[in-house]
């Protein structure tokens, strides 16, 4: 009982993808005609269809991935599409593989990545969580957004010590202040076309906002791509301190709120690239010699399982010479292993830069 209109859009989108010779998305790579026919009549308990999964990739032919999961069930209902995408992005995590139990490790065993402050401008570690009892963006009502915001905000406003801070809702926020927070890399951007096409920006700015601690080293995003993003950041390369602070915030929130975790996929997120540990540990870094050849930089980064982004985040360029380099995979390894993978890779890149 998937409406004819949806089936038509799926067929049209599939043809559009096939005709787009410069489209490099994993959606295009893995959505075969057979898979389309196998999945197009399926629906999740929430009523989500394959179109809800793929329309972001149909509309944005420059997507890297091209899919989001409209609800937690989609990862199983549409697993025939999600699994190969997950396997390719997370360096070979197979349909028979299971994400390990959490192990956050001991932050004190991590290092300062750039003790002489030559290369690294700042370090950031973030993770995402989805709340039990709430659907993902495309299936949320306006009331759900407000309820989730209220719940998280109330908990955050009771945080003490280093985590003590203020919640700033997007609703009613002065545009200049909003832009300043974006430019300083605290706040998420507005109008992301990949999220918009996935129906993830409905009722914007309702329920969206950012909590920031007084020293501006700890933030929580509410209701952007994921229900919450927990972020720790500061100038310089001290990964140890940044990670320890993120854990402090995560532990606090985990003691007050229940999150969605799947046995196989770990913590559940809206985008399959974030599943598992959900951790992205990054540096803003200047590597002028390595970066003189961007293709080479990407190649070396991939070798160390790292991902290179531009200075203002995903899908941005790096005309400034500053790159955002982070661990790429988040699934199939523990949190501590994700941190170690990033640490080792960044240290290698800096070592290489020094030899050039
Ligand atoms: P994500 O939340 O998935 O990490 P983005 O790539 O969109 O998403 O980045 C969000 C924001 O965080 C952007 O403003 C980006 O520049 C900023 N950011 C990422 N890494 C760092 C870093 N190491 N130092 C400072 N800002 C950072
Ligand atoms: C893309 O496919 O390029 C976008 N949908 C982003 C994919 C990964 N990024 C993310 O989860 N933030």
DSSP secondary-structure letter at 140? -
Residue 100 placed within a domain = no
Residue 334 and residue 212 in one domain:
yes
Nearest to 330 by CA among 260, 283, 281, 263: 281
Residue 83 and residue 157 in one domain:
no
Confidence band for 318, pLDDT divided at 50, 70 and 90: confident
pLDDT of 108 reads 97
H helix runs in 65-209, sequence order: 74-77, 79-89, 142-156, 175-183, 193-197
Residue range(s) defining the domain that contains residue 337: 107-355
Instruction: For residues 338 and 111, give the distance between their C-alpha atoms in angstroms, rounded to a whole number.
Output: 14
Question: Which one of the ligands is nearest to 57 CA?
Answer: 2
**Binding site membership of 273 for ligand 2 (Cβ less than 6 Å):** yes
Residue 36 maps to which CATH number?
1.10.135.10
> pLDDT per residue over 223-259, tens digit each?
999 999 999 999 999 999 999 999 999 999 999 999 9
Domains: count for the chain = 2
**Candidate list 44, 87, 126, 277, residue with the active-site label:** 126
pLDDT at 319 over 80: no
pLDDT mean across residues, the chain: 97
Residue 187 and residue 333 in one domain:
yes
**Binding site membership of 74 for ligand 2 (Cβ less than 6 Å):** no
pLDDT of 293 reads 87
Exposure of 141 in the CB half-sphere (CA atoms within 13 A) = 5
Residue 116 and residue 81 in one domain:
no
pLDDT of 332 reads 98
Distance (angstroms) between ligand 1 centre and the Cα of 312 equals: 7
> pLDDT per residue over 320-346, tens digit each?
789 999 999 999 999 999 999 999 999
**Candidate list 59, 314, 344, 348, residue with the active-site label:** 314
pLDDT at 89 over 80: yes
Q: Which atom of ligand 1 is nearest to the CA of 229?
A: 2
Token couple for 29:
């790579």
pLDDT of 316 reads 81
The CB density around residue 127, as the number of other CB atoms within 10 Å, is 25
Residue 166 and residue 127 in one domain:
yes
> pLDDT per residue over 23-45, tens digit each?
999 999 999 999 999 999 999 99
Residue 74 and residue 136 in one domain:
no
Which residues lie below 8 Å from residue 281, measured CB to CB, with a gap of 6+?
123, 124, 125, 239, 242, 243, 326, 327, 338, 339, 342, 343
Q: Which atom of ligand 1 is nearest to the CA of 283?
A: 23
Residue 339 maps to which CATH number?
3.30.590.10
pLDDT of 279 reads 98
Residue 101 placed within a domain = no
pLDDT of 107 reads 98
Residue 37 and residue 146 in one domain:
no
Residue 53 and residue 112 in one domain:
no
pLDDT cut 90: percent of the chain above it: 95
Q: Which atom of ligand 1 is nearest to the CA of 122?
A: 24
**Binding site membership of 65 for ligand 2 (Cβ less than 6 Å):** yes
pLDDT of 351 reads 95
Residue 153 placed within a domain = yes
**Binding site membership of 194 for ligand 2 (Cβ less than 6 Å):** yes
Residue 97 placed within a domain = no
> pLDDT per residue over 174-209, tens digit each?
999 999 999 999 999 999 999 999 999 999 999 999
Confidence band for 311, pLDDT divided at 50, 70 and 90: confident
Query: Is residue 261 flagged as an active site residue?
Result: no
Residue 278 and residue 131 in one domain:
yes
Yes or no: say if 174 and 180 are a contact pair by the CB < 8 Å rule.
no
The CB density around residue 319, as the number of other CB atoms within 10 Å, is 8
Residue 36 and residue 69 in one domain:
yes
């Amino acid at each position: 009982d998937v409406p004819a209109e949806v089936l038509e859009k799926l067929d049209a989108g599939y043809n559009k993808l096939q005709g787009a010779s410069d489209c490099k998305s994993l959606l295009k790579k893995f959505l075969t005609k057979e898979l389309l026919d196998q999945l197009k009549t399926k629906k999740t308990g929430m009523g989500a269809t394959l179109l809800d999964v793929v329309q972001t990739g149909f509309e944005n032919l420059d997507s890297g991935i091209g899919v989001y999961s409209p609800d937690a069930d989609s990862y199983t209902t549409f697993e025939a599409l999600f699994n190969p995408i997950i396997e390719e992005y997370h360096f070979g995590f197979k349909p028979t593989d299971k994400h390990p139990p959490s192990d956050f490790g001991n932050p004190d065993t991590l290092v300062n990545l750039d003790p002489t402050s030559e290369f690294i401008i700042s370090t950031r570690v973030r993770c995402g969580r989805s709340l039990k009892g709430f659907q993902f963006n495309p299936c949320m009502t306006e009331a759900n957004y407000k309820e989730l915001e209220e719940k998280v905000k109330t908990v955050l406003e009771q945080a003490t010590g280093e985590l003590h801070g203020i919640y700033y809702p997007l609703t009613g926020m002065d545009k200049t202040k909003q832009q300043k927070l974006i430019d300083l890399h605290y706040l998420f951007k507005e109008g992301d076309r990949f999220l918009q096409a996935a129906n993830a920006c409905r009722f914007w700015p309702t329920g969206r906002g950012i909590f920031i601690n007084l020293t501006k080293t700890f933030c929580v995003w509410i209701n952007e791509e994921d229900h919450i993003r927990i972020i720790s950041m500061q100038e310089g390369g001290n990964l140890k301190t940044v990670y320890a602070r993120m854990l402090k915030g995560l532990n606090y929130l985990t003691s007050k709120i229940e999150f969605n975790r799947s046995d196989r996929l770990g913590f559940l997120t809206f985008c399959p690239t974030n599943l598992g540990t959900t951790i992205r540990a990054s540096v803003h870094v200047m590597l002028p010699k390595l970066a003189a050849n961007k293709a080479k930089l990407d190649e070396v980064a991939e070798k160390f399982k790292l991902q290179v982004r531009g200075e203002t985040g995903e899908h941005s360029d790096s005309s400034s010479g500053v790159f955002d380099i982070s661990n790429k995979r988040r699934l199939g390894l523990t949190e501590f292993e994700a941190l170690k993978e990033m640490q080792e890779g960044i240290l290698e890149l800096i070592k290489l830069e020094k030899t050039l």
